[in-house]
Structure 1
Amino acid sequence: MKFELESQQELYQKIADLIEQARKTVASSANLAMVHTYFEIGKMIVEDKQSGKQKAEYGKKILKNLSEHLTRRFGKGFSEANLRQMRKFYEVFSIQQTLSAELKKLRFQLSWSHYLVLMRIKNPDERNFYEIECLESNWSLTTLERQYHSSLYERLALSRDKDEVMKLSTHGQRIEKPTDILKNPLTLEFLGLEEQFTYTETDMEQAILSKIQHFLLELGKGFLFEARQKRFSFDEQHFFVDLVFYNRLLQCYVLIDLKIDKLTHQDLGQMQMYVNYFDRYEKQAFEKPTIGILLCKKKNNALVELTLPKEVNIYATEYSMYLPEKKLLQQKLEEWIEAFENEHPEQLNDKGE
């Protein structure tokens, strides 16, 4: 009898899972159909206006009458404000610059709420980047808003060579080499540790662990958490790495040491020793060399370059306990792009291919 009940329960669960999946598929298909319909409605409104039939005041009246007729027949969702959003949707996404193959293939696969956020992004390169990341990383609306307000695009771009900045808008974030995981700065506002209050490295470490899901999202793609205060022994001495992660895309360990004080050459030397130990005693033959990251309040590029040998996989990255000033980062990025365009005018025609 017990076996029969368990069998029935298993059958019920399988059927319930199937129904739930079918409902999600139907809901997803309906959402995509709605987004494509809104795009076409926006196109019709724009083309009607461009035909020369409308003057400004007359156009407003057309939208008002159109809204009343559509609402009467189809119910909510066709207010004047919504119709204006549909018009803007078409205007914004129909004049996009040349799109990458990734974006062409996945066009209009997000929810309408996602596109309402994307429409507010004026820079088409930045907008393309966030759309690709939403599609490939399955970002929720909340995640998209957080990543945009934390200036993810600018922080990634400012952590790269000028030649690689342009690739963000056509391919999104690609994790192919150690420097691809760096951001400038790493934004940790979700930890709740305010700048003006004194906190220790232990406080910061504990806060990260309590918000590990948020921290993994901020680190980026492919990160898995392995250990806190990972101990290893050498020459009868014990050493502790603050945080140990593994990146499945790079297939390597990523060691993070937290520094709330001024970064010193001793800190860099210590991280070099940690990385050497992991490469010699922890890394498997098929894995790539270990990456070391010193997460510090203020880095000194000259000190890092002087202390560490070239081509070493050790990086100092600043962190911020508040969302960065977006306008300032945008200004810095515009200067970088302008310099790039002046140096490489021949590459502008190849953008997006």
Structure 2
Amino acid sequence: MELKRDSHIYDEIKSLLENARKKVLSTVNSTMTMTYFLIGKNIVEEEQNGESRAEYGKELIKNLAVQLTEEFGKGFTIRNLELIRKFYMTYSQDEKTKSVISFSENPFKLSWTHYIRLVRIQNIEERRFYEIEAEKENWTVREMERQISSCLYERLVLSRDKEEVKSLAMKGQIVEKPKDIIKDPYILEFLGLHEMSNYSENILETAIISHIEKFIMELGKGFLFQGRQVRFTFDEEHFFVDLVFYNRILKCFVIIDLKIGKLKHQDIGQMQMYVNYYDRFIKLPDENKTIGIIICKDKNDTLVEITLPENNEQIFASRYMTILPSKEELAKIVEEEREKNEN
């Protein structure tokens, strides 16, 4: 009997094979990473032998590069062996790898290319955060690089106290309350709008829709896209919400209003009305309160604080940037925001 290509059994078998391939690839990557860790361990122990011998270390790596390349081919240049050594030196300090001596104890879940990028991060807490998130969210190296370049860790640290910052390094980003999904600023360099000297809110919105997958990734965990220019009506007057999402972790609607200029108190009042409408007429009884995010080019934090209730947990205002600034520039922005919050 000839099976149709779109039959359910074909789809099930195809899924099994694709998952098997991914698992094999993941196992190979993990095994190679562990191999490099143990190679690095051997190099460092041979170098030191009880004391630091820098010149001997250089000669050792040089000789190993020649011998290993002759035996195993490409992949063991002096540069690569130095990276392997650095990888071991970096990760041998972590609690989970201090006592690792065999493949049966492999703690490395990412590819070697992921770790080449991670070892460049000097801050231990920051490095652990990206490692955890890359594994949990199945980030490609390119996706992880983008998150590092946009200072995701620093932006999340900004709105957290010391205990929550410590938790980021131990568990990654945990979404439990509305504030956990908020970033300030949002980095939207993927829209390509920095090349335009002038653009409207409609152009900004259209660009986001054209790059909706990247925008959802920037928003963070658990977001599902619901619609654009979603209309609701009362007293024969129509209102339109720019973007509507649903967060499956927080179990609530997240509505977004886009402003290309400086935030005004009228914008906050409008968002308050949108949130109230969704809470009273759209959300189900078992769903949590709606979250409103105004993403604007600029804002006055004092204006936002005065306009919103003291115990506000529903409406947030964040800036956006259409270029990817340097890590130093973003770190400066984060530090300025932290100082504002402390004063």
Output the TM-score relative to the length of structure 2: 0.89
Letter aligned with residue 307 of structure 1: T
Structure 2: how far apart are the matches of 1:230 and 1:12? 38
Which residue in 1 is equivalent to 2:29? 31
Post-superposition offset of 1:335: 9.1
Deviation at 1:158, TM superposition (A): 1.4
Residues 186, 321 of structure 2: 8 Å contact kept: yes
SS at match of 2:227: strand
Q: CA distance change for structure 1 residues 197 and 42 in 2, over 3 Å: closer, same or farther?
A: same
Say if 1:145 and 1:106 are closer, same or farther in 2 by CA, change over 3 A: farther
- How big is the shift at 1:18? 4.2
Which residue identity does 2:292 align to in structure 1?
Answer: G
Give, in whole Å, the separation in 2 of the partners of 1:160 and 1:224: 25
Cα pair 2:158 2:338 within 8 Å, conserved: no
Change (3 A) 1:265 1:95: same
Unpaired runs of 5+ in structure 2? 98-104
1:252 corresponds to which letter in structure 2? Answer: C
Q: What does residue range 74-89 of structure 1 map to in structure 2 within 5 Å? A: 74-89=72-87
Match of 1:182 in 2: 182
Structure 2: which amino acid aligns with 1:322? I
Secondary structure of the structure 1 residue equivalent to 2:193: coil
SS of the residue corresponding to residue 260 of structure 1 reads strand
User: CA RMSD, aligned part only?
Assistant: 2.6
Confirm or deny: 8 A CA contact 1:229 1:243 kept in the other structure: yes
Partner Cα distance (2:338, 2:295) in 1: 27
Whole-angstrom distance in 1 between the partners of 2:263 and 2:335: 29
Distance 1:8-1:321 versus aligned 2 partners, 3 A rule = closer
Provide the rounded CA distance (Å) in 2 between the counterparts of 1:6 and 1:233.
50
Q: CA deviation at 1:196?
A: 6.1
The 3 A distance-change label for structure 1 pair 133 and 236 is: same
* 2:298 counterpart SS class: coil
Distance 1:162 1:24, change over 3 A: closer
Partner of 2:191: 191
Answer whether contact 1:225 1:246 (CA < 8 A) is retained: yes
Q: Does structure 2 retain, via aligned residues, the 8 Å contact 1:178–1:250? A: yes
Matched with 2:226 is: 226
Does the Cα contact within 8 Å between 2:96 and 2:107 map onto a contact in 1?
no
Matched to 1:38, the amino acid is Y
Deviations 1:175-197 (A, max 9, x none): 11000011120000101111761
For residues 247-278 of structure 1, give each alpha carbon's deviation from its aligned partner in whole angstroms, at most 9, with x where no partner exists: 00000000100011221111111110100000
Q: 1:7 to 1:295 in 2, by over 3 A?
A: closer
Deviates more, 1:64-73 or 1:263-272: 64-73
- Does structure 2 conserve the Cα–Cα contact (< 8 Å) formed by 1:255 and 1:290? yes
- Distance in 2 separating the partners of 1:54 and 1:87: 14
TM normalised by structure 1 equals 0.86
Q: Structure 1 residues 62 and 247, CA, compared in 2 at 3 Å: closer, same or farther?
A: same
Distance verdict in 2 for CA 1:321–1:8, change over 3 Å:
closer
- What does residue 90 of structure 1 align with? 88
Q: Counterparts of 2:194 and 2:154 in 1: how far apart (Å)?
A: 23
Query: Residue 258 of structure 1 aligns to a residue in which SS?
Result: strand
Distance 1:264 1:106, change over 3 A: farther
Corresponding residue for 2:315? 314
Count of residue correspondences: 331
Pair 1:120 & 2:120 matched: yes
Distance of 1:320 and 1:187 partners within structure 2:
5
Is 1:6 matched with 2:3?
yes
Is the CA contact (8 Å cut-off) linking 1:162 and 1:336 kept in structure 2? no
**Which letter does structure 1 place at the counterpart of 2:324?**
L
Q: 1:155 to 1:83 in 2, by over 3 A?
A: same
| Stretch deviating more after TM superposition (69-78 or 263-272) | 69-78
**Correspondence list, 1:238-277, <5 A:** 238-277=238-277
Aligned: 1:325 with 2:315: no
Residue 59 of structure 1: aligned partner: 57
Q: How far apart are residue 334 of structure 1 and its match?
A: 7.2
Tell me, which stretches of 5 or more residues in structure 1 are unaligned? 100-104, 339-353
Question: In structure 2, how many angstroms separate the alpha carbons of the residues matched to 1:327 and 1:97?
Answer: 29
Cα drift, residue 46 of structure 1: 0.6
Query: Once the 2 structures are TM-superposed, how far is the Cα of residue 49 of structure 1 from its aligned partner?
Result: 1.2
What is the SS of the residue equivalent to 2:233? Answer: strand
Distance 1:256 1:128 in 2: 31
Cα separation, 2, equivalents of 1:253 and 1:9: 35
Q: Deviations over 1:13-45 (max 9, x none)?
A: 665554444333222212111110100110111
Compute the displacement of 1:9 (Å). 8.3
Aligned-pair CA distance for 1:57: 2.8
- Given that 2:129 and 2:172 are in contact with CA atoms closer than 8 Å, whether structure 1 keeps it comes out as yes
AA at the equivalent of 1:316: A
Counterpart AA for 1:29: T
